[in-house]
Chains A and B, each alone.
Chain A
Amino acid sequence: MINERSIPSRRSGVLHYELVDEMVIYDAVTSQAASLNETARLIWELCDGTRTVDALSAELAQHFDMPVDEITASVREALERLCELRLVTV
């Protein structure tokens, strides 16, 4: 269960391909590929094992110049999806 104190990390060995503001990520172990829009890409890049979900949300909100409480739910949904795909661990 992801909460505000969880610290997400990208799984090692996952390949990524940049496409302007978007990204495609690929796990050769599971053969799983995923497309990330601009927001999801930023979330993925911020999952470096040093930030809590709260800190990640705050940074994203600053990037988009939005209130944190408007972005927190989206961040958690994205992280849950990345965890489902086993591309991020918490």
Chain B
Amino acid sequence: MPVAAPDIRSPGTSVQVIHASFNHHYISVSSSSSTLLQHIARHVEPMLSMDPTGERIASLHLSEAEGCVTAEDDQGSTIRWGDLYSAVRALHHMLIKRFIDARPELIWIHAGVVAFAGRALMFAARPGQGKSTLVAELLEWGCNYLSDEVAPIDPATNAVLPFPVSPWKRIPPLERVSADQLHKIPKVCVRLAPTVVSLHPVSLGQIFFPRHMPHATGTSFVRCSPSIAVLELSDNSFNSQDSRATELARLCNIASRFDTFHLEYAEARGAARDLIRAASLA
């Protein structure tokens, strides 16, 4: 059952506020423009909390005037964008970065993650390899949703924490497109039923490095060597460059404990079916 779009109203007050929560931390975003807040909310809808608990790590106030959007944070910094699209996109990434900065003890990977049979299946790749679309297709197969974009791993437990930004998927074109053209296909937001979103950390199961190969005849899984997996994960890591030596040590721990695969596929729907079959047999 689709979830109703976020509706932000606060009769009698000129400023409204939304809270995006992650694992006992939250960020508050306020604005007198409900339209602006709705655009932001749409990107983090499963993370919204009416009554957040834990520590507030940032507070942003947004304003809009003559088509320009301005954000002021609680540290006195101000950023301005000339159009709504650029502002929403930048603010989405800003929220993610604030959470990453607040939790440096976690390993943050640019990846989509779903849970299947009690284990997390992670898809780590640079933009344009179709991981968001893969995640959306896997949800159709009964997987639970952890993230479309960011996978925080707790190195103490090797569990993936849910970071449920709103998932988006590309509408399949009539013709297959090359990987370098994939990013030009527009994405649509996938509405999730609350029961699909995983509320708790899930133990890591398998890690995939997807490559969209439009001329592939099917789906192929090739086991990735641990040392290659470390470099793949490092390429997709959000953790600070300053601590890369530590990051590599932590990624080596991950790569040596869990199966990693190169995943090549032509279309996401078939790949999802093949992934579920393979996971069911494992």
State in angstroms the CA–CA spacing of A24 and B241 once bound together.
Answer: 17
Which residues of chain B are within 8 angstroms of A24 by Cβ–Cβ distance? Answer: 227, 230-231, 248, 252
Write out the residue numbers on chain B whose beta carbons fall within 8 Å of the beta carbon of A31: 241, 244
Instruction: Tell me whether A35 and B231 are in contact in the complex, defined as CB-CB below 8 angstroms, given that A20-B256, A22-B225 are known contacts.
Output: yes
- Closest beta carbon of chain B to A49's beta carbon, Å: 24
Chain B residues within an 8 Å CB radius of A23 = 227
Q: Which residues of A contact B241 (CB under 8 A)?
A: 31
Distance of A30 from chain B, by nearest CB (Å): 11
Kindly provide the distance from the CB of B237 to the nearest chain A CB, expressed in whole angstroms.
Answer: 11
Give every chain B residue within 8 A of A15 (Cβ-Cβ).
Answer: 245, 248
CB-CB under 8 A from A33, the residues of chain B are 230-231, 234, 244, 248
Contacts A22-B225, A24-B252, A37-B225 given; does A17 touch B230 at CB 8 Å: yes
Query: C-beta contact mask, B210-234 vs A, less than 8 Å → 1, else 0?
Result: 0000000000000001111011001
Instruction: Tell me, yes or no, whether B249 is within 8 Å of chain A by CB.
Output: yes
| Bound Cα distance from A12 to B72, whole angstroms | 47
A28: Cβ under 8 A from any B Cβ: yes
> Total A-B residue pairs with C-beta atoms closer than 8 Å?
45
Cβ of B113 < 8 Å from any Cβ of A?
no
A37 to B255, CA, bound (A): 14
Contact of B245 among A18, A28, A34 (CB under 8 A): A28
Size class of the A contact interface (CB-based, 8 Å): 10 to 19
A36 CB to nearest B CB, Å = 6
Question: Interface on chain A toward B: helix, strand, loop, or mixed SS?
Answer: strand
Q: Decide if B230 touches A35 in the complex (CB within 8 Å).
A: yes
Closest Cβ–Cβ distance, residue B23 to chain A (whole Å): 28
Known: A26-B248, A31-B241, A36-B227. A19 touches B255 (CB 8 A): yes
- Given the known A-B contacts A24-B252, A35-B225, A37-B225, are A19 and B230 also in contact in the complex, defined by CB atoms under 8 Å? yes
**CA–CA, A33 and B244, complex, Å:** 10
A23 to B226, CA, bound (A): 9
Q: Mark B123-141, 1 if CB is under 8 A from A, else 0.
A: 0000000000000000000
Could you say which residues of chain B place their CB within 8 Å of the CB of A18?
Answer: 252
**Chain B residues, CB < 8 A from A37:** 225, 227
Instruction: Provide the residues of chain A in CB contact with B244, threshold 8 Å.
Output: 26, 28, 31, 33
- B27 CB, min distance to chain A CBs, angstroms: 30
Give me 19 other A-B pairs in contact (C-beta within 8 A), A17-B249, A26-B245 excluded: A15-B245, A15-B248, A17-B230, A17-B252, A18-B252, A19-B255, A20-B226, A22-B227, A24-B227, A24-B248, A26-B244, A28-B245, A31-B241, A33-B230, A34-B231, A35-B225, A36-B227, A37-B225, A37-B227
* A-B CB contact pairs (8 Å), 21 listed: A15-B248, A18-B252, A19-B226, A19-B252, A19-B256, A20-B226, A20-B256, A23-B227, A24-B230, A24-B252, A26-B245, A26-B248, A28-B244, A33-B244, A33-B248, A34-B231, A35-B227, A35-B228, A35-B230, A36-B227, A37-B225
Residues on B facing A (Cβ under 8 Å): 225-228, 230-231, 234, 241, 244-245, 248-249, 252, 255-256
